[in-house]
């Protein structure tokens, strides 16, 4: 599912001020329960809760090109985490870049995000796939 972006500045401020946070070497993650989650669930075509993601890269990381590269690295790391693990839904998540991130690759950021999201209790166990690929299908037993 495509991540929804946080677009309003007041949501960034609220998440920074009231949310739980954990910092790593290259990123800091802030998490806050989304009060508009129910309304967004109704508007979502799949009728399920969604997370809204915000990226914060300060100007000290460089010009626009460098900041956009950092955002791409963070997005790639987050996609890797979401591919392997299931995140709890209905939250505002703000990922803030820290100095030194511009020299890192996305697998490094992915492992750090995985560690931080586990610390913030955002990971859910991924549902196990059943052995029968077709729902309701059962094996036929040969009877003599």
CATH code assigned at 60: 3.30.230.10
Is 131 part of a structural domain of the chain? Answer: no
Domain that holds residue 8: 4-122
Closest CA relative to residue 33, chosen from 18, 13, 55: 18
pLDDT tens digits, one per residue of 80-116:
998 888 888 889 999 999 998 988 999 999 999 999 9
User: How far is it, in rounded angstroms, from Cα 14 to Cα 70?
Assistant: 23
Q: Which residues pair with 106 in a beta bridge?
A: none
Asked, for residue 140, whether it belongs to a domain, the answer is no
Strand partners, 54: 94
Look at residue 129 and tell me if it is in a domain: no
Distance CA 89, CA 140 (A): 39
Burial class (CB in 10 A: 0-12, 13-18, 19+), 132: exposed
Structural domains counted in the chain: 1
pLDDT digits (tens, 9 = 90+) for 60-72: 888 999 999 999 9
Let me know if residue 127 belongs to a domain.
Answer: no
54 belongs to a structural domain: yes
């Amino acid at each position: 599912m495509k991540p929804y972006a946080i677009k309003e500045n007041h949501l960034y401020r609220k998440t920074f001020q009231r949310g739980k946070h954990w910092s790593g070497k290259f990123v800091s993650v802030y998490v806050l329960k989304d009060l508009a989650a129910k309304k967004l669930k109704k508007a979502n075509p799949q009728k399920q809760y969604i997370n809204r993601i915000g990226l914060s890269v300060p100007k000290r990381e460089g010009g626009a090109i460098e900041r956009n590269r950092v955002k791409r690295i963070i997005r790639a790391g987050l996609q890797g985490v979401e591919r392997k693990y299931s995140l709890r839904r209905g939250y505002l998540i703000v990922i803030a870049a820290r100095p030194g991130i511009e020299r890192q690759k996305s697998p490094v950021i992915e492992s750090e995000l995985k560690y931080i999201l586990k610390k913030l209790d955002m990971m859910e166990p991924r549902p196990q796939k059943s052995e029968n690929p077709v729902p309701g299908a059962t094996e036929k037993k040969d009877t003599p």
